[in-house]
Amino acid sequence: MKQRMMTIALAVALAGGAGWWITGTGSQAPTINGQAIALPGAANAQSSTQAEMTVEDMVLGAEDAPVEIIEYASYTCPHCANFHKGVFKDLKADYIDTGKVKFTYREVYFDRYGLWGSLVARCGGEDRFFGITEMIYDTQSQWTRAGSEAAIADELRKIGRIAGLENDQLEACLSNGDKARGLIEWYQANAEEHGINSTPSFVIDGTTYSNMSYSEFKEIIDDKLGS
């Protein structure tokens, strides 16, 4: 499956923005909203001063589908969890699995826990990403309320292990500072491009929409399909 990829040069800091931009390189922690975000992995986000990484879009559906939907969502957003438990399942059955819609999922980072969830979801690569994402949303009310930061991190590790990830693999993902900084920078660039300021948001063939019901999705998609 062909994916849109963005290569991030981590040695270059971006200027301006609303505090979501990367503010440092080297061994500094990644930042969200101007606050340093510690990673829970054993190596605690050690990083090189010169690095490049490629962030891949996670995609479902036919590459040549006539309609493209990009979802922007946060793993800690209750409305996003509700969407994935309901509307998304109908969209997948009726439009994505039938070749009518190409669906791209892009993470939004409002807090460290959403970033940690993203590191776990991406740890298994494209093959496991959507399965882990579903598990994260299905158990959102449990893991986000686990208590301490250590307890939340452990709950996310449990999800990764249930999905078949090994402990060493999870620790490497959860301590990857270069990956964390690259993901935040990737998110900010995409959010700027599409004017994303809430979650979930959807870009349908280039037009940005806020959260909506399945009937509203269906009306927009069917209109584009001419049906």
Kindly tell me if the per-residue pLDDT of 26 is higher than 60.
no
Beta-carbon contacts of 178 under 8 Å, excluding residues fewer than 6 positions away, are 10, 47, 48, 51, 53
Interval 70-107: pLDDT, tens: 999 999 999 999 999 999 999 999 999 999 999 999 99
Single out the residue of 110, 101, 111, 106 nearest to residue 121, CA to CA: 106
**Whole-number Cα distances in Å, 37 to 67, 84, 111:** 36, 26, 8
Domain spans in the chain, listed from the N-terminal domain onward? 5-225
Tell me the fold of 5-225. Glutaredoxin (3.40.30)
pTM metric for this prediction = 0.83
Integer Cα distance of 92 and 89 in angstroms: 5
Q: Are strands 35-36 and 5-9 parallel, antiparallel or unpaired?
A: unpaired
